[in-house]
A and B are shown apart, each in its own frame.
Chain A
Amino acid sequence: MSSTAHTPTAAARAPRVFGVLAEFKNPADVYHAAEKVRDAGYKKWDVHSPFPIHGIERAMGLGDSKLGWIAIFCAMAGAFGGFSLQFWIHRFAYPLLIGGKPLIAYPAYIPVTFEPGILFTAFGCLLGMLALNGLPRLYHALFRSENFKKATDDGFFISIEARDPRFDLAATRDFLSSIGGTHIEVLED
C-alpha cells in the first residue's frame, strides 16, 4: 500500500506530447507557412514572433475576436447598473429633492450611468483578453524548448498542438518540415 503511494505509476510518469515546434527564417517565411498550416485544416496551433506581423490574422485564418461581445455586454451591464443604482436610491432608498429637480431627474443620471459603463468595459476588456489568451499562467510547454527563447528576439515559430484533431506526430512533423520549418522539436507537456 504505502510503497505504491510513494512511487508514481508508470502511466503518470509517461510524458504527454504537447505538440510540435518548428522554426522559420523570417516573417515572410512564417507568414506563408501559416497559410499552408491554415489550408491543411489545423485548428489548435499558433505563430510566435518577436513583433506583430501585418496580416498574420488572415494568414492564420483567425475569425473576429470575441472580445467585442464581452466589451458590449460589460458596457450594458455597467450602464444599466449605474442607472439602476441612482433610480433605486432616489425612488426607494432615500428620496431627496435636490435643487428643485424631479426625484427621477434622469439627465443628472447620465454621467453616473456612463462611468460604470466605461469602468466595466475596461475591466471586461482587460480580464476578457487575459481569459481568452489563457492568462495568467506560470508554465507553458513551449518554454521547454531552448530554441524557443529566440521568439522574443529574432526567431519565428509555428507550433501545432497535439490536441488538434488532425495532429499525428510523424505526419505533422513531416508537414512542418515540408513547408520550410527547421529545428523541429517535439515538446512534452
Chain B
Amino acid sequence: MVDSRDTIQLNSKLAKSTSWFLGAGVLGVLLCAVSYFQDAQTFFASYLTAFSFFLAISLGAIFFVMVQHLARVGWSVTVRRTAETLANNLLILAVLFLPLLLGVHELFQWSHEDVRLVDHLIQSKAAYLNLPFFFIRTAVYFTVWSVLGWWFLRTSRLQDETKDPALSTRMGKVATFGLILFGLTSTFYAIDWIMSIDAHWFSTMFGVYFFAGAVVAFYCTLILVVTWLKSTGHLKTSVNTEHFHDMGKLLFGHNIFWTYIAFSQFMLIWYANIPEETLFFLHRGEGLWKTISLSLPWLHFVAPFLFLMSHNIKRRPALLATGAALLLTMCYVDIYWLIQPNFHQNGPHFGISDVGSLLAVGGFYLFFLIHNLRQAPLIPVGDPRLNDCLSYDNGIPE
C-alpha cells in the first residue's frame, strides 16, 4: 500500500507556479507575434522546431504508457501517472499546432503550384505531397494522438476510483492497436512536417529517427518532472532510488538506440554518396552547421553514454536529472538541426522567434501539464500492480 504519509496530491504551493507558465506562454505569444511581422518564414520555422520538440516529448510519453500496459509492467506504476499526463498534453498540442496551418506555404516549397510545375522531382511526388491529402493526414495524426492521450489518462483516473483490474486489461488491449497507430502516425508526421521541407531529399529511416529522438526526449522529461515533484515534497516514498535507476536505464538504452539509428542513416548516405541523398548532410556540413552536426555524436551520444553508464549515477536523482537536462537540450538541438538548415543555409539563426516559440509552446505545455496533474493523485492508486512497484528492488548492493 502507498505510505499514508506520502504526498500524492499536488500541493497548492506548486499549483501556483501555473501562473508563471501561463505568463511565459503569453510572453512567448507576444514575441512570436513580433517575429512573425519581422519575417514570417523565420517565425514558422522556429515555431515548427519548438512545436516538434514538445510534440516529441508527448509522443514518447504515449509510447511509454502503451508499452507499460502492453507488457504489464510493474516497476513503473508510480511514475506512469506523470507519463500519462504528459501524453494527455497531446490535446493542448493539437491546439498549439493550429498556427502552423497558416505557415504551410512558408514552410513547404512543394506546396507552391508554380514550383511543382517546373520541378520534376516534386511533380513525381505529387500523388503524396499535395495539400488536400496533406491536411487530411495531419488531421488523422492529431485525432489519433489526442484520443490516445486523453483515453489512457481518463481510464487510469477511472481506475483510481473503481480499483477495477479489468481496466488494466482493457488498456493493454487498446495499447496493441494504439501502438500500431502510433508507429504509423509518428512516422508520417516526421515525413510530412519535417522531411518534406526539403522535398527533394528522402531517407527511409527518417520516421524512426524522429521516434528514437522522441523517446529519449520523453525519458529526460519524465526524469526531470519526477525529480521536480520529489524536490517539492511529493512522492517521497512512492518513487525511490529503484525507480530512478530504471528510468535511467531506459534513457541510457534508448539514447543508444537513437545513436544507432542516427549513425545508420548517416553511414548509408555518406557511403553511397548519391547526390540527392548527400545534399542533406552537405547543407549541414559547413560553417556553424558543421559544429552543430558534430555536437550530435559527441553531446547527444558519447558524453551521456559515459555519464549514464554507471548505476552510481543513475541511482542519484540529482546527477541523473542533470544528465537528463543536458540530453533534453540536445534533443532540441537535434530537432533544430533537422528543420532549420532548410531555412538558414548560412548558419544557425537562433533569435527572438526561437525564444518566443519555445516560451509559447513550452509555457502552455507546462501550464496544461500542471493543471492536469492537479486533477488526480500523482500516482495511479487503483492500479493492481501498485504494490509490485512500491516494493520493487533492482538488487543493487549498498
Contact between A62 and B397 (Cβ–Cβ < 8 Å)? yes
Q: Which of A50-80 contact B (CB under 8 A)?
A: 54-55, 57-58, 61-64, 68, 72
Complex formed: what's the CA distance from A61 to B397 in Å? Answer: 7
Which of the candidate stretches B173-181, B233-241, B267-275, B347-355 sits at the interface with the other chain?
B267-275
- For chain A, the count of residues having a C-beta within 8 Å of the partner chain is 17
Given contacts A99-B271, A99-B273, whether A107 and B398 have CB atoms under 8 Å apart is no
Range of interface residues on B (Cβ < 8 Å): 10 to 19
| Selected contact of B267 from candidates A58, A72, A110, CB within 8 Å | A110
B133 at the interface (CB under 8 A from A): no
Max count, chain A CB within 10 A of own CB: residue among B273, B309, B397: B397
Complex formed: what's the CA distance from A68 to B397 in Å? Answer: 14
Contact between B395 and A54 (Cβ–Cβ < 8 Å)? yes
B contacts, CB < 8 Å to A: 263, 266-267, 270-271, 273, 309-310, 393, 395-398
Contact between A64 and B267 (Cβ–Cβ < 8 Å)? no
Q: Which 7 A-B pairs have the closest CB atoms?
A: A57-B397, A62-B397, A58-B397, A107-B270, A63-B397, A57-B395, A107-B267
> Which B residues are CB-close (under 8 A) to A101?
271
Complex formed: what's the CA distance from A68 to B396 in Å? Answer: 13
A15 at the interface (CB under 8 A from B): no
Contact between B273 and A58 (Cβ–Cβ < 8 Å)? no
A contacts, CB < 8 Å to B: 54-55, 57-58, 61-64, 68, 72, 99-101, 107-108, 110-111
> Which A residues are CB-close (under 8 A) to B398?
58
Instruction: Give chain B nearest CB distance to A87 CB in angstroms.
Output: 18
The chain B residue sitting closest to A63, CB to CB, is: B397
26 A–B contacts, CB within 8 A, in A order: A54-B393, A54-B395, A55-B393, A55-B395, A57-B395, A57-B396, A57-B397, A58-B395, A58-B397, A58-B398, A61-B397, A62-B397, A64-B397, A68-B310, A99-B271, A99-B273, A100-B273, A101-B271, A107-B266, A107-B267, A107-B270, A107-B271, A108-B267, A108-B271, A110-B267, A111-B267
> Which A residues are CB-close (under 8 A) to B267?
107-108, 110-111
Given contacts A58-B398, A99-B271, A100-B273, whether A110 and B393 have CB atoms under 8 Å apart is no
> Which B residues are CB-close (under 8 A) to A57?
395-397
